[in-house]
Amino acid sequence: MVARQWPFVARQPLLDQLRSTLRDPALAGAVVAGPAGVGKSRLAREFADSRFAASWQVRWVRATAAASAIPFGALAHLLSDQKVARDGNPLRWAADSIVTAAGGRRLLLGVDDAHLLDGPSAAVIHLLAHTGQAHLLLTVRSGMPAPDPVVALWKDGLVTRIEVAALEHAEVADVLRQALGGPVSQQTSSRLFRACAGNLLFLHELVTAALQSQKLTETAGMWQLSGDLPLSGKLVDLIEQRVGEAGEDIREVLSYVALGEPVELIPLIGLTSPEAVEEAEERGLITIRNDRRRSYVQMAHPLYAEVIRAGSGKVATRRRLAGLAGAIENAGARRREDPLRLAVWRLDSGAADPAVLVTGCRLAWIAHDYPLARRLGRAAVAAGAGITASILLADVLNDSDRFAEAQQVVDAVWDNACDEPSRVALTLARAVTLGWGLGRQQDALALLESIEPGCAEPLPRQQLALHRMKIVGTAQGRWLEASAIGEQILADPASPMLAAQARVEQGWLMLYLGRPARAVDLASQVLADREGWRDHYPQWTGDLRTLIIQASQSLGALDAFDGAIEQAAAEVGGAEVFANTIMVNRGISALLHGRVTTAVSLLREAETFRVVGSRAMSGMSELARALAYLGQIDAAAEALGVGEQRIFIFRTQKVPFGVRLAAPWLAAAAGDLAAALDGCLVAAQFCRAEGAARRELTALHDAVRLGGAARVADRLAQLADEFEGDLAKLCAEHAAAAACSDGARLDRVAAAFEDMGRLLHAAEAFAQAGAAHDAAGKAATARASRGRAALLADRCEGARTPALISLRAPRLTGRELEIAKLAAAGLSSAQIAVKLTVSVRTVDNHLGAVYTKLGIAGRADLAQVFGGSLASSQIPA
């Protein structure tokens, strides 16, 4: 169960500001202001409990709405029992009573929810500040009216007003990690952040309810949220208390906004009243934003909408949805998103036109909202929208990997009379189901070939040929044959759309065939013309971004790889079928950068929200590789799903590429380098036979890393001549240098890997260079190479690959490393001495030890050993 007292994070700057304010003799204190639930009271209590406030006599007042009707009601517990004299000043009497109770110590008076103070209490507090008899620490809720004496405190400059904002996403993630006592998945922290909007009180209640309902659980060492967010009774009560003060006319406004946000302002006023909308905004229940010439209304907090929708009756909900739909129709439904919203509202109100549902289904597909697209498509078919709706629904279902349902939809209309375009579209949908969903590629090809001769026009013939190209290439691995079909289509495309389709498929084939630069070029061409196709093939945006991601990886440019991942995240990261693919690629990027433990975390998280879908990407083979790098053999075998077969899995025939490439690293982690190398060679042969050049490149370079350079150098050299980009050439150079034990050449290869950002590969190559220098009798040079390998290995988060395990580099002490980095960055011994508060002699002594351990002559060699960027990026402040 989550702790009652949550960790206090992200508020240190505000604590520092409070300390500074209370030190200022010209100020009588501070007012902490902010929305309800952001942690104002916690901040004030943390300050009052801090060592800074230990010398003060702290007294607390809690203002409430109930006590606000009673004079001095909030201060009653601080006042003397002695009655005020008939002719005396009650404010002075009250102030003196509070000060006397402090016993002569400095008084810090804390007032929580000071906006609820009764008038006399507020006046006494103002008097205490004005006379300097006490320092104040008040909290007030933003947007709520406060008594004039309280407002005068900051308006007259007696106190400083400090605003407390809602937490940012990263801060919420930090709170969750500390509160739950372990790592929290990025998807979970994002969902909770969106729901609570940075409000700590709401976050606490959401987490508590999710724990109690077992929707928030710890799986594989990471907290994961599944299913809908539960709303606790306390949370509903909190929100109802906030909303419940509003009258029926305001609740009607809130109900419309909760159902349809964002709602355009003018139609909302027409459905309710301008006075009710205005008051709802003044109460902080809704917000209004302007977008060009239109104004839109949203709930002030996401959870307000959740509670209001949950409490709305079915009849009232249908009435309001019909009203919202009518308002859009009356306005002409001119905005791009209007037809989709109209379809949903009409469907939920029980009065949906079939044509509206078909349009909504396509638009939801365009927006990558697959659950909504399936729902609208099914409703359109049920409403009798005809064969067009059935084809669209089948396409959406196939795209979601719901092949069995897609087959049922097509079968239901297969014998219906239809025109040639519809017959071709139905055939294509059935072919996708057969070829991809049921694994019956030959049946799919036979179906396509049976109908193609009967097509009179070039367009349907090329559509059928394009699907043959996809099955022959991606499904069956006959890349060259498939590419020839694509070139034939592109030589004389029947339409611009067909040309775009052919370029998409050719792009993937070029990637498989080792032409990643060509793949990027084709993908970029199609993306540049997206306005022409996105309404028909919305999934292409994610497909093309994924293609560019993988092609950038094959080219070796990690900066471009990372940039492509983030571009994809910005465009399609919210879609269920692409979100996990982006996370998998982030994990692959971390692994290539040498951040092995980080990669494990990212890949494990990606798997937790991988949906079933043709575009969903499994990162389990990459996870197995990363775990093997760390020496975690059993976990790696579990990730690969091979159990006791882990050493020899690569010998079997029906094994996916990813498993073939990862399995040798399990053997290496188990200490069987011969079996590992054998696995790399078998995998490379299989990939070559399948024409999968990029996979073959990985398998061959893995063999180099495992000590088998002499056996693969010739093939890698040949592949480098055929493969686009710098990566293949560098892998071939690595093999050639290792095969002839050329230490200097290996040093250059390692430096090139480091420049690419591939730190693990760089560390391994430097380690191999050290062994080569040793064999040549160059002990000092060997120490330098191994020293650099050790420094890079230290940045690889615990990687224990064979090349690194065999590393025998002397390790620098913490102080030696610190001084060496500063010297490598160009600082003199005197400058280092001043920076570290040590003597120049101490600096020089440490540098002498560094030179000896690393086998270098002096300061001039340090920058090379530390790799330049390492030295400059890790200089202690």
Is pLDDT of 869 > 90?
A: no
Quick: pLDDT tens for 754-803.
999 999 999 999 999 999 998 999 988 988 898 889 889 989 999 989 89
CB neighbour burial string for 124-160, b if at least 16 within 10 angstroms, e if fewer:
bbbbbbeeebbbbbbbbbeeeebbebbbbbbeeebbb
Sketch the domain layout of the chain as residue ranges. 12-163, 169-230, 621-724, 741-809, 814-873
β-pair partners for 184: 223
Round to whole Å and give the CA distance between 213 and 841.
64
Round to whole Å and give the CA distance between 547 and 227.
31
Average pLDDT of the chain to the nearest whole number = 86
Most confident of 332-341, 449-458, 693-702: 693-702
CA-only gyration radius of the chain, Å: 34
- Residue 534 confidence (pLDDT): 77
Residue 712: name the closest of 688, 736, 742 by CA: 736
Cβ atoms of 138 and 111 closer than 8 Å: yes
Q: What's the DSSP call for residue 229?
A: P
- Residue 852 confidence (pLDDT): 82
**Backbone phi and psi for residue 533, each to the nearest 5 degrees, phi listed first:** -130, -15
- Residue 811 confidence (pLDDT): 66
> Residue 32 — very low, low, confident or very high, per pLDDT cuts 50/70/90?
very high
**Homologous superfamily of domain range 12-163:** P-loop containing nucleotide triphosphate hydrolases (3.40.50.300)
Cβ atoms of 347 and 373 closer than 8 Å: no
Cα torsion 267, 269, 270, 276 to 10°: value is 150
> Residue 862 — very low, low, confident or very high, per pLDDT cuts 50/70/90?
confident
- Collapsed DSSP state (helix, strand, coil) of residue 34: strand
* Paired tokens of 254: 């809130």
Is pLDDT of 870 > 70?
A: no
Cβ atoms of 504 and 544 closer than 8 Å: yes
Round to whole Å and give the CA distance between 624 and 640.
6
Quick: pLDDT tens for 686-741.
888 878 888 999 999 999 999 999 999 999 999 999 899 899 999 999 999 999 99
Cβ atoms of 259 and 344 closer than 8 Å: no
Round to whole Å and give the CA distance between 14 and 12.
5
β-pair partners for 301: none
- Residue 616 confidence (pLDDT): 58
- Residue 125 confidence (pLDDT): 92
Cβ atoms of 90 and 120 closer than 8 Å: yes
- Residue 792 confidence (pLDDT): 92
Round to whole Å and give the CA distance between 573 and 567.
9
- For the beta carbon of residue 830, count every other beta carbon within 10 angstroms: 10
β-pair partners for 58: 108
* Paired tokens of 377: 């498509």
- Residue 86 confidence (pLDDT): 55
| Alpha-carbon dihedral sign for residues 791, 797, 803, 805 | positive
Quick: pLDDT tens for 644-676.
343 344 444 456 778 889 999 998 888 888 889
Q: What's the DSSP call for residue 860?
A: G
> Residue 126 — very low, low, confident or very high, per pLDDT cuts 50/70/90?
very high
Cβ atoms of 112 and 59 closer than 8 Å: no
Quick: pLDDT tens for 393-409.
999 998 888 889 999 99
Kindly list the distances between the CA atom of residue 619 and the CA atoms of 278, 479, 588, in Å, as whole numbers in the listed order: 51, 23, 8
Round to whole Å and give the CA distance between 822 and 872.
8
Region at 350 (left for phi over 0; alpha for psi -120 to 50; beta for the rest) = left
Round to whole Å and give the CA distance between 379 and 789.
62
Quick: pLDDT tens for 482-510.
999 999 999 999 998 899 989 999 999 99
* More reliable by pLDDT, 855 or 26: 26
Q: Please state, for a pLDDT cut of 90, what percent of the chain lies above it.
A: 39
- For the beta carbon of residue 380, count every other beta carbon within 10 angstroms: 29
Q: What's the DSSP call for residue 778?
A: -
CATH of domain 814-873: 1.10.10.10
Cβ atoms of 136 and 75 closer than 8 Å: no
